[in-house]
Structure 1
């Protein structure tokens, strides 16, 4: 089976879900090619070992970056035009047709995205890792440069931030002509249906982790009395890091001994550093920057609590079930998170962790304090969390199901619709 992954920037350290799917498919004998339509990452990050282990860069084809200035874009566009005419001359009029492709043609974006597909690429499945990339794949298929059944995977910003800027009808054509659709949580599935996708053409395939990679070892009460809280994620608005910092400041003001390690990097690093200084918590809050996966696991192993205070960003961007939550729960680490997006599908309040409202530093501080005062709960929270991740987020079982879906979509799209009788693709059914 030949499968194309259509991605934005690749490889991004924050998108382990893509690495896990790629590795799983390669292990199962699938011939996978990655088409990165936005190029290599613009931000420095730590490369995942899986990128080297599975030769993912050798499997990747990059589109030509679209310059921001009009003059540079026209110059780059003329070079792309020459390449298309030389290799596939019949495609050039289609790629530049504004009546068919609108802004994607007028902005020359589609022309730049077409370059790695020359002269023409054929696959059994074209798996678009976000909804807006499904739009690109559909246009490139219409232009005659890409062949294959399109499976579009909605994951967050594509049904929140992107829809807010592009309008609720942006996916109408994709819903009409794409073969099948996936989301990574129930919350997002309902949102996609509200946007116009037929319920019998969309299912939930959760983003998995390698559960066996995480040793189960619930934390013990700190001998020195210092509660150690960890946050892992990109430093962007929707991760809510600001509220974790404010919560720790409130706890320190009340005399509690608590520390916060923030693992990750991103555009808010400088403003978060300024907030740490303004709240005078520099001795208790550390910005550790991006770390590789093994280093993250080591940090989680020394923590007592994981904080995941995700919020709906001003742009509308939202989270699904955060991967770091799954990893922490697999290790038996108690978690404090927000009632946001797909998080409540993973964390059950008072059973495997505590949930608080978004943007509520007081409630977050109270939940962290309550966790610190209740080390007797850590073992039970840890056991229940581990079982939840094993049952629904094991990447090996999920990758089996993904391959099964590909086969059904590739053979007869009507068979794939049977999956939506139970819209959540349950990994424990793998091999049944």
Structure 2
């Protein structure tokens, strides 16, 4: 539950007195949890290394009790064509966790299982359904389904409903289903906790404070932001760029900044707890999300939650026309949208906002109003609660 949008959904349902319990297939990882997430009283069952022995015992016990059924599940998972070794191991583990949890959920009278991701969590839910007949659903996010893990069609075929968190993924998921089942794919955006009425001041004075937030991986497109910053500084536009996040591209991004001789104007904070992000956005003039689709892959960014968070605080946004970003960044109305992998276009969009504060504030105000209506907890949580209730086992 370390992903903020998963936490906020569970927290919202919990506050509504909805009977939800949380299971993590992995051990506790609290290093980068925000303080309020650490203080949460929502009970979470963690599996991971401490649960290996009881999980193994449950698999053996279930196999001797139902050898044909468990054998079929194990053969299906073990001999499936997974897209890579990491995905294979994740799903092996999820399968074993599913066998273990099936036993527990039957005793506890669980009426519905929801996987927060389409990969391992959905596989565990599928296994539970095979063994106990408990209905299940899952949320499909960009990194789960583009490219798919190789078992997506089977999980979609047997689920009660599949929730896409961006419009970009709705037709993609539906393409795995026959015509009569396509309507089980539904669009429900991530729940985002919107800040109070306090709004970012957006001073928009030199040096212009540009912020980008996300993992330092290729699909985030931060390389193009560094190049855009280099172009802007060559044009005597005084920008200071802060990139928040950790990941494998740190060295490449630093090297790119040095190549443009702007290493003193591009700052890397590393990964930060989520409760520090709001303060950094509040101090920024423009938030840039330069997402790309890497060459030769299907990997895309869906709808980055940080765009929604920036808009909700009144920070002007520049982004790219990738995946579902256009759902919220309406070019010229709620932000500026440029072609992916185009550093010059990115630089021009940043410069347009930097040199016209009134225009930037107008876009930010439009975006703030739009986001508050579209991503309200009342809207997103209400729909999820309705789906769960309509697809649960009767008492």
Normalising by structure 2, what TM-score? 0.86
1:285 corresponds to 2:250:
no
Deviation at 1:185, TM superposition (A): 1.6
Deviation at 1:317, TM superposition (A): 1.7
Q: 2:208 aligns with which of 211, 221, 227?
A: 227
Tell me the alpha carbon deviations over residues 173-217 of structure 1, each in whole angstroms, 9 at most, x when there is no partner. Answer: 223221111111211111111232633212110012122446224
User: Structure 1 residues 200-209 or 114-123, which shifts more?
Assistant: 114-123
Residue aligning to 1:7: none
Tell me the alpha carbon deviations over residues 211-235 of structure 1, each in whole angstroms, 9 at most, x when there is no partner. Answer: 244622451331xx21110011111
Deviation at 1:28, TM superposition (A): 1.5
Q: 1:331 aligns with which of 290, 313, 326?
A: 313
CA distance in 2, matches of 1:33, 1:388: 32
Match of 2:229, SS?
helix
Q: 2:334 aligns with which of 337, 349, 352?
A: 352
CA distance in 2, matches of 1:104, 1:296: 40
Report matched runs for 1:388-407 at 5 Å: 388-407=370-389
Distance 1:330 1:99, change over 3 A: closer
Distance 1:401 1:135, change over 3 A: same
Q: 1:90 aligns with which of 51, 62, 65?
A: 65
Aligned residues: 378
Residue aligning to 1:203: 186
CA contact (8 A) 2:24 2:44 kept: no
Distance 1:102 1:116, change over 3 A: closer
CA distance in 1, matches of 2:66, 2:80: 15
Deviation at 1:155, TM superposition (A): 1.0
Q: 1:154 aligns with which of 128, 133, 140?
A: 140
CA distance in 1, matches of 2:102, 2:167: 37
Match of 2:388, SS?
helix
Distance 1:110 1:185, change over 3 A: closer
Q: 1:121 aligns with which of 105, 114, 122?
A: 105
Residue aligning to 2:304: 322
Residue aligning to 1:249: 230
Residue aligning to 1:422: none
Distance 1:50 1:88, change over 3 A: farther
Distance 1:61 1:243, change over 3 A: same
Normalising by structure 1, what TM-score? 0.79
CA distance in 1, matches of 2:385, 2:55: 35
CA distance in 1, matches of 2:200, 2:251: 34
CA contact (8 A) 1:32 1:59 kept: no
CA contact (8 A) 1:232 1:324 kept: yes
CA distance in 1, matches of 2:302, 2:143: 10
Residue aligning to 2:38: 52
Deviation at 1:408, TM superposition (A): 1.6
Structure 1 stretches of 5 or more lacking a match?
A: 1-10, 67-75, 413-432
CA distance in 2, matches of 1:150, 1:119: 15
CA distance in 1, matches of 2:176, 2:197: 37
Distance 1:294 1:369, change over 3 A: same
1:103 corresponds to 2:79:
yes
CA contact (8 A) 1:35 1:116 kept: no
Q: 2:10 aligns with which of 13, 22, 27?
A: 22
Deviation at 1:63, TM superposition (A): 4.1
Residue aligning to 1:61: 46
CA contact (8 A) 2:95 2:124 kept: no
Match of 2:300, SS?
coil
Match of 1:350, SS?
coil
Residue aligning to 1:187: 168
CA distance in 1, matches of 2:93, 2:276: 38
More strand by share: 1
Tell me the alpha carbon deviations over residues 145-187 of structure 1, each in whole angstroms, 9 at most, x when there is no partner. Answer: x553211211112221335xx3xxx433223221111111211
Residue aligning to 1:4: none
Match of 2:135, SS?
strand
Residue aligning to 1:362: 344
CA distance in 1, matches of 2:147, 2:153: 17
Match of 2:210, SS?
strand
User: Structure 1 residues 331-340 or 184-193, which shifts more?
Assistant: 184-193
